[in-house]
Amino acid sequence: MDNLIPVNIVVADRSYRIKIKPEEEEEVRRIMKEVNDKIVEFKTAYAGKDLQDYIAMALIMYATHPVTSGGKAQAGNAPFLQEKLQRLEELLNENLK
């Protein structure tokens, strides 16, 4: 098994201990900061919901819109997204004629 290190991550004020590769630590911490920032954003926008709802909303958003996060997801999806956007533009043009 690879050399894994234990790290504590926090999601919505709860701490979780996970084991990751040392070279992944910076990226994991960056992603967890994004997720926690999104949870705070949803708390502000949709007051009165349960904390579980905010967590679910943030994680669903992150899972379905990986392009909004930086790094590898964005670079890896660029050709795919470009193709989809071109197809969408073609469909719109056809419907406008």
- Could you read off the pLDDT of 15-68 as tens digits, one per residue? 999 999 999 999 889 988 988 999 999 999 998 888 889 888 888 887 777 655
Highest mean pLDDT among 2-6, 18-22, 73-77, 88-92: 18-22
Residue 51 · residue 40 · CB < 8 Å: no
Cα separation, 14 vs 8, whole angstroms: 10
pTM tops 0.75: no
pLDDT band at 71 (very low <50, low <70, confident <90, very high): very low
Q: What are phi and psi of 58, to 5 degrees?
A: -65, -45
Residues 6+ apart with CB under 8 A from 70: 30
Range 68-97 average pLDDT: 58
